[in-house]
Structure 1
Amino acid sequence: MDSTGTNSNMEEYSAASTVIKFDKPIPLLRGPVPHDDPSSGSYLLAFRSHQSWASAYESCESKVLSQCEHGARIGCSVNASKKCKPPWWRNLIGQRPADFKEREDCEVREMEACLIVAKDKCAGFAKDRLLRPFQDARIAGRVGPKEVEKLVCWASLPETERSLWRDLIGSEWLGEREFRVRTNYRAADLLGSDNNYKRFLG
């Protein structure tokens, strides 16, 4: 057998020619965790941690802002051109021809002013679209920030006073029952009154 033909056949069946490389799978943003309320279903989707939740928020916010600002640039460009173009009747009454340098400077000023306003509006638009869904999102964890605060307060009491407080306010307030069965908490509990999610990115 011809050695040249043999080498050619080997190249056709080599790993480089026959193996198909696939991209690595993208990890899921959320995974199933047992539902706290069995009447609502067996599982619900929750972020793995508050860091993954904050990263997802940041990524979505970046995409919304990018798309919004891209559309704003188009709109601002059209508006700047309309505002700075000379009136159609100028040539009819014999006025001097339009100064293109002056028009260019006018368009630059109008564009910059428009983009400043649009940037603030896009930030508000992104917040309106994302804050509510991400506040309602679930984060996997046995105990949430509110329960942690309760347990810290409870642990700081002297041993002799714990039973008294247990009888007065009940064990449910202390989170003892929830601490045993909860598998997740709402992101709104994490944020509290401060909606700055970036403090959880570290």
Structure 2
Amino acid sequence: MTRPLSPERWAFEITHLLNAVFGADRFPIDIPAVAREYTAQQFPDDPIISVQGDSLPGFDGALFKAPAGRKGWGIIYNNRISSKGRINFTLAHEFGHFLLHRAAYPNGFRCGEQDVVRWDSEYGQVEHQANVFAANFLMPLDDFRRQIPERDKVDLDMIAHCADRYRVSLIAATLRWLSYTQKRAVLGRVDEPAQGGFPRGG
């Protein structure tokens, strides 16, 4: 039996493919297009067929099974979210659920802040895995290191450049940098709530 891929490995596999097709300077990622095309190729009997915004009171995003009689899955993000960075992370997070968890959770997911903070629960760990996938997918470590080498002295303008490059929030870009830097970090206050290690905040 094939061992399931980790969140990091899924992100690496797709990153490698995108680099081969589009080259290294291909950011930000068009998540809806990648999710639909990749899953149509890899999972033709069970692909992602829809990515769209809708009213989701109390939730950032959702992954849901298509109605009876149709094959595939849909991703919905809360269209009241104004931050493009938060939307982007939400879409990548739900794509991660599709790749990692759809077999174990055939009814899909509705994801909001109340879910990702329950670290002691199985569901909290599942949410964390989707966040890890999203961070690695949106901000591949090799490319991030080219933008900010690990020994460089860093300021907020450099982090902001990465946030713009990957279309993520400042705090998501900061956390990604902190995951590999060898420098002590004092960047000043960022007024955004952390969610599950890699936030969807914008």
TM over 0.5: no
TM-score of the aligned structures, taking structure 1 as reference length: 0.26
Higher relative contact order (CA 8 A, sep 6+): 1
Q: Which has the higher helix share?
A: 1
